[in-house]
């Protein structure tokens, strides 16, 4: 497709000048754009202009402890007359611990597409087409995260928990900071621990999933917990 604003708006001016005061068909619009850009737009028009229905996208993502994420994107369509829509798809990943987000564009060349990407932080959620460029429906989004390597010999429990967490760690001559984040990445609780086995009161937190981040010196480890 035309991925250049100057070219796209230049074509619109050219098209307006060429067909001013006239009636143009979809095929004439396509041919004029092909002549102006040098692109073959027949597949796009067959799917998105002459075709029927719309795509539904689903994503399954697995991220390992080193930040490598493997995405599987599946596309189904609402009408069998158009079994596949080919168009790059934007995906936005939001990071845990309020670390921001990243958006990238993925080429969709078949009903099932795969790609791997190295990400700087752990993913907390995924958004499909965040800027609403494509007419589509959103299917299922599943996210799997491998537990990070526990360099602190950290034990947090009970899990699930109703009212408190007890934190055990091996190295007791250095204070530990415990930060608890909700699923949106918002910091909801922070404690400084000076000895292993201390309790942290979480009775006031809503029942939900949380990420517990422990920091001791340069070492950091995160664990998922459930408040019930």
Residue 158 has pLDDT above 90, yes or no: no
Lowest mean pLDDT among 76-85, 146-155, 201-210: 146-155
Print burial letters for 190-204: b (CB count within 10 Å at least 16), e (below 16). Answer: eeebeebebebebee
Residue 176 has pLDDT above 60, yes or no: yes
Residue 145 has pLDDT above 70, yes or no: no
Residue 155 has pLDDT above 90, yes or no: no
What counts of helices (H) and strands (E) characterise the chain? 3, 14
Structural domains of the chain sorted by starting position, each given as residue range(s) with its CATH number in brackets: 5-48 (no CATH), 55-145 (2.60.40.1840), 155-227 (2.60.40.3080)
Residue 148 has pLDDT above 70, yes or no: no
- pLDDT of the residue at 216: 84
Please, which residues have CB within 8 angstroms of residue 105's CB and are 6 or more apart in sequence? 88, 89, 90, 91
- pLDDT of the residue at 121: 85
Phi/psi for 77 (5° steps) reads: -125, 160
- pLDDT of the residue at 91: 96
- pLDDT of the residue at 33: 94
- Interstrand relation of 164-168 and 198-201 (parallel, antiparallel or unpaired): antiparallel
- Interstrand relation of 137-145 and 55-63 (parallel, antiparallel or unpaired): parallel
- pLDDT of the residue at 23: 93
Comparing 66 with 130, which gets the higher pLDDT? 130
3-state secondary structure of 17: helix
Contact indicator for 25, 31 with CB cutoff of 8 Å: no
DSSP H/E element including 71: strand 68-77
Q: Span 147-153, mean pLDDT?
A: 57
CA distance readout (Å), 69 to 11, 136, 146, 194 = 39, 24, 10, 35
List pLDDT tens digits, range 110-123: 999 998 998 888 88
Residue 225 has pLDDT above 80, yes or no: yes
Query: Quick one: 66 exposed, middle or buried, by C-beta within 10 A (0-12, 13-18, 19+)?
Result: exposed
List pLDDT tens digits, range 11-62: 999 999 999 999 999 999 999 999 999 999 999 999 999 999 999 999 988 8
- pLDDT of the residue at 147: 52
Residue 105 has pLDDT above 90, yes or no: yes
């Amino acid at each position: 497709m035309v991925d250049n604003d100057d070219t796209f708006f230049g074509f619109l001016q050219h098209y307006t000048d060429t067909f001013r005061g006239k009636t143009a068909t979809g095929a004439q619009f396509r041919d004029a754009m092909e002549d102006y850009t040098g692109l073959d737009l027949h597949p796009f028009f067959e799917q998105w202009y002459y075709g029927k229905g719309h795509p539904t996208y689903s994503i399954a993502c697995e991220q390992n402890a080193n930040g490598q994420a493997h995405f599987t994107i599946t596309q189904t369509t609402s009408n069998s007359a158009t079994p596949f829509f080919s168009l790059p798809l934007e995906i936005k990943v939001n990071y845990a611990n309020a670390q921001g987000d990243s958006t990238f564009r993925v080429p969709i060349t078949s009903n099932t597409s795969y790609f791997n990407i190295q990400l700087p932080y752990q993913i907390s959620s995924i958004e499909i087409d965040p800027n609403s460029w494509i007419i589509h429906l959103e299917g299922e989004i599943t996210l799997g995260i491998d537990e990070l390597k526990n360099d602190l010999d950290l034990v947090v429990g009970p899990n699930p928990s109703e009212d408190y967490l007890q934190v055990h760690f091996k190295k007791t001559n250095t204070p530990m900071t415990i930060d608890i984040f909700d699923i949106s990445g918002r910091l909801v609780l922070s404690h400084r621990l000076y000895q292993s086995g201390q309790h942290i009161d979480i009775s006031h937190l809503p029942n939900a999933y949380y990420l517990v981040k422990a920091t001791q010196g340069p070492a950091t480890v995160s664990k998922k917990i459930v408040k019930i």
